[in-house]
Structure 1
Amino acid sequence: MYKSKIAEEVLEAERKGANLEELLPMIRMQKSRPAVLKGDVDNALMVCGQVDDIMDDIPTIKEAVDSIIREAKEVYEKIRYA
């Protein structure tokens, strides 16, 4: 999660024990979307995953699909005889 004003508010609410029903109005995309579209990063929840740290390249769609299929076949072969 990008460290923004709204993200800090959500974290503070969680620390105080807020439940999902209380958090939903804060985390719904309807609230963040206009801010994201305007580039208002302080009032938007922007998810930033760990994946950006492990990406070495940006494959084409064909390369990505081929890789997924190849890896799926490898997993299948491993569990097939397990």
Structure 2
Amino acid sequence: MILGVGGAVVDTATGAAVQGHPARALALAANALAERGLALEEGWIVLTGGMTDAVPLEPGRPVTAEFTHLGTLTVSCG
């Protein structure tokens, strides 16, 4: 993933940045819940972790995340 702010690249990462693989992060979450007698439920949205540091949204400066297989997402405010 390539993370850009205002057209400049500020960070890059791969899915491996999330506990080595996003599925591993999901398994860790499921196991931690099971230890507490809980479980993931159908329909829940689960965030497995950030691939990069968070960046602030600033008026007039779009933030873009470009993914190899998923496409590009651009968010802007103000």
TM range, normalised to the smaller chain?
under 0.3
| Bigger Rg, structure 1 or 2 | 1
Q: Which has the higher helix share?
A: 1
Q: TM-score, normalized by length of structure 1?
A: 0.25
Q: TM-score, normalized by length of structure 2?
A: 0.26
